[in-house]
Structure 1
Amino acid sequence: MRKTSARLLSLLSLLQARRDWPGPALAERLDISPRTLRRDVDRLRELGYPVLAVKGPDGGYRLDAGTRLPPLLFDDEQAVALAVALRTAAATGAGIEDGAARALTTLRQVMPARLRHRIDALHVTPVVASVEGPGSPGPQADAGVLMTLSAAARAREVLRFDHTPAHPADAVPSPRRVEPHHLVTRGGRWYLVAWDLDRGDWRVFRADRITPRTPTGPRFTPRELPGKDVAAFVTGRFRGSGESPDWPCRGRAVLRSPASAVSPHAADGVVEELGPDRCRLTIGSWSWASLAAALCLFDTDVEDVEPPPLREAFVRLADRCARAAAGPAAP
């Protein structure tokens, strides 16, 4: 018969894998007697696991929710998944960063060396994405690819990979040689921030479009990222403003709607209440035309538009809309 500690771990694993276990089936699975099974269940209860007895012809057991958190048992895949989730917790914007960091430290302390090595190789920068731009959940990146990218960035080794273009018409992957700087998660997607050696510029690559090549290249001395802030750099690239995290175009206008009706749809804009049916909205976008179109989405009168480039964009947008409403042009 196996040692008591080994039996308890096996018993706990079986109880986690299935809601209800008949007593005889559980004893047979563990190759122990019903009496030994009852003793092992009592030991789990003493450790804080709420194992309930299930009534029935054969009797049985169920692992239920308790009033306190007992010691937890994870398999390798669960432990790695939990560690990755804790590393990216800052992207939720829920204010749990400190708690997540402490939980990761606790988890790492009890991990076997083979898992600690995998977790230590994964360095991630979470970037909180507002609802205005790219970054909605899409194709999932392979966990092995993420580990490879992070390991290369941590070891400061040149990375070679094939990058699949975004457009199906250009389906032939292009070979890239980069100095990987940071692995980033933003809005449900993963990205690699790297210096492209062949193009001589910083690039942000979608991780789900990367197929790494082996082996990695020589070691390199890290370059200084523009602005020195990874989150700000990535946000700026998505917003089309280069290295600044702010929008390249920002304007304001008065809307003939109450602030309470505008605020839920203002994304990262600032809403000022001017009265029961008027408010001022200050927002940004990647172009003046898109900024004008965004203000029109509120389906209300727009007044006091600033600055002048935004007013000019409204003129151009109105002209386009008028031509569209006129119907097809004569041949």
Structure 2
Amino acid sequence: MAIAKAERLMNLALCLRGASRPLSKRELRGSIEAYIEAGGEEAFNRMFERDKDDLRELGMVIETVESLDGDTGYIARPDSNRLPPLSLDPAEAAALGLAAKVWQQVRLAGAAGAALQKLRAGGMPETADAEAPFSALEPRIPAGEASFEPLMIACRDRRPVLFEYRKANAARSTPRVVEPWALECWRGHWYLAGWDRGRDDQRVFRLSRITGKVRSRGGDFTAPVPDRVTVRESVAAWAGEHATGQARIRLRTGSGYPLRARATSLVEGSDGWDELELPHGHGLGAWLAEFGPDLVVLEPAELRADVVDRLRAVAKG
């Protein structure tokens, strides 16, 4: 919504709610600057009717009152536009507190903190730290990538974006024009799901591989947004989470913690290398290639060939 319209709606809402009696169109037009500058009577009437409908769609109760002289007045009585009393039990209050902590590292930190203060002022119960059932939890969502904030806004506003992206097996980044759908954090990394216009298909992008600035593009989305965007499921499949077999690798001692966490078996070696077995599924090779010289694939042969090909492509670049 444009700033000018938002300001005009706010001024109209304040006038209607603060009035002690119904106000006529003439009185409202003389009280709100945007209406004074609206031009002719017809332009003002169209603008006022749209604004009144918009406020009602937002939930404001506006009464229409006929006066004795036949004039029409409008008022938004405080009793009709008051939220019901806030009612939260301690568990619900604790959940909201955790949610506010989650966003403390990103742009939503200020909004989350302010919302929490308002809820407490409105009567949200505060549980003492010693008695809080979730007091030991300190959730964090890392969002250090510079691309997080512009992509979050683009997802919200349904606005296409352009950025440079480097695939795991590529030495150089390439431009991507994407219609962003959703952001989601999976195993400590942020991913964007959306429609890749260049590939004419949906794709998932890891934010840490976006290089340079994220730039907005004009125009509407060209592809429908799914009712449910399966970011985690897509990334899990890419990372071999939906396994169809087992892979055996050698991993340099002290490296590859994410692989060690997923290993179904681990044998420590005395030569500086450990041997691991991992669930093997589609896309695992792209993940293994990221560990470069710290990893050697033993089997299956097709996975080994996939990782070797990816590393050669990087070396040639």
Structures share fold, TM-score greater than 0.5: no
Question: What is the TM-score when the length of structure 2 is the normalising length?
Answer: 0.35
1 or 2 for the larger relative contact order (CA 8 Å, sep ≥6)?
Answer: 2
Question: What is the TM-score when the length of structure 1 is the normalising length?
Answer: 0.33
